[in-house]
Amino acid sequence: MLISIPPKYAVSQVVGFIKGKSAIHIAREYFGRKKNFTGQHFWARGYHVSTVGRDEEAIRKYIREQEQEDRRIDQLNLFK
């Protein structure tokens, strides 16, 4: 997703809002949940922000690496 955020809004607040509202919508629409994902994680913790243009390849690289990091963390959690 590529968006432009006006300077009066904090990037972290906008990203948190988008992640929160979309997780709730997806849970209700596709998983039949009546309640929210309390205590559960739906999206990856990180996100990519570019303030100097729209370098699509850098964004794709970040996403590829984030998927690998998520898999690594999931595998580590198997041993807990």
Catalytic choice (9, 30, 47, 62): 62
CA 68 to chain centre: 14
Structure-token match 């906008």, residue found: 14
CB 21 within 8 A of CB 15: no
Q: Establish whether 30 is a catalytic residue.
A: no
Catalytic residues: 62
